[in-house]
Amino acid sequence: MKQRVVIGISGASGAAIGLRILERLKAMVDVESHLVISAAAEKTLSHEIGQDAVARARNLADVCYPIDAVGSAIASGSFRTSGMIVAPCSMRTLAAIASSLSDNLLVRAADVHLKERRRLVLLARESPLHLGHLRSMVQATEMGAIIAPPVPAFYQLPASVDDIVDAIASRAIDLLELSAAPQSEAWLGLPEPPEGSRPDGRAFRS
């Protein structure tokens, strides 16, 4: 049976990350993606990516659910999955998850993953953060969620925004620890400087 992965896209900026995760999952033959998009996320997808972005996201997913369909399969713990990613995760969605406020399908699905002790990765997107945001992050972490803000890995020397989006999406998928090969490149460390040189690579005089 394919590994089921639930993807939630909420209304924070960074909608391209959620779309890229769906693209990568689509290319993984042993993964079945289940998608739920909030009403605010539909607006963000259209604004940040284009008018066809919502349709593109739904076409990439194997199964799609309306945000208010709280009786759907992913709302039950009996529906086995390999984890869930919320990308991006707005502060409203984060607070609802941290408070177990299952008022829509996205939050309910996240709550199910917590109660069933399954991987839940939240790409919390906001800056700067006030104390309420930080407390929600702590509370969700204490409940078992993984808070993974979409922070660029500058050490990978990205050449474009597309590189940054791809790196964040890949890392988020890897956090689920699926049976597929890792999506992101492993850091192998800095090269050793030549003997007789300084750490910045320039030669020094004895």
Tell me the pLDDT tens digit for each residue of 69-88: 999 999 999 999 999 999 99
pLDDT tens figures, 6-47: 999 999 999 999 999 999 999 999 999 999 999 999 999 999
Give the torsion sign (CA, 79, 84, 89, 92). Answer: positive
Length of the chain as a residue count = 206
In the chain, what are the domains? 3-174 (3.40.50.1950)
pTM: 0.92
C-alpha 202/C-alpha 135 separation (Å) is 46
pLDDT band for position 204 (50/70/90)? very low
- Mean pLDDT on 87-102: 98
pLDDT tens figures, 114-125: 999 999 999 999
pLDDT band for position 206 (50/70/90)? very low
C-alpha 166/C-alpha 153 separation (Å) is 11
Give me the helix-helix angle, 15-26 and 161-174, nearest 10°. 60
